[in-house]
């Protein structure tokens, strides 16, 4: 499994887990239906900002590295084609 995919899965699992925990707490507090979902989404989003900072930074770095590698590969391919044509 490549680094970007692994980091993405970890970050997504962390966010989903945080949502489930928050939704469970909201349920225990008596919230139901769309109110439960709305409050859990907002609360888990706010909580994930400080709690998932390291994972978010890792995800940003992995995606940036992937983008740079793809750009470099595209440049090399374009350079190779120019050499073949000229």
Domain of residue 73, residue span: 3-85
Round to whole Å and give the CA distance between 51 and 38: 20
Neighbouring C-beta atoms of residue 5, cutoff 10 Å: 11
pLDDT per position as a tens digit, 4-22? 899 999 999 999 999 999 9
| pLDDT at residue 3 is higher than 90 | no
| pLDDT at residue 1 is higher than 80 | no
DSSP SS3 for 1: coil
- Could you tell me the pTM of the whole model? 0.79
pLDDT per position as a tens digit, 31-68? 999 999 999 999 999 999 999 999 999 999 999 999 99
How many domains does one find in the chain? 1
């Amino acid at each position: 499994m490549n680094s970007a995919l692994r980091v993405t899965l970890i970050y997504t699992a962390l966010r989903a887990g945080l949502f489930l925990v928050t939704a469970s707490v909201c349920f225990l507090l008596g919230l139901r239906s769309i109110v439960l979902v709305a409050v859990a989404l907002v609360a888990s989003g706010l909580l994930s900002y400080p709690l998932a900072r390291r994972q978010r930074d890792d995800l940003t770095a992995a995606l940036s590295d992937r983008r740079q590698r793809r750009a470099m590969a595209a440049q090399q391919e374009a350079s190779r084609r120019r050499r073949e044509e000229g």
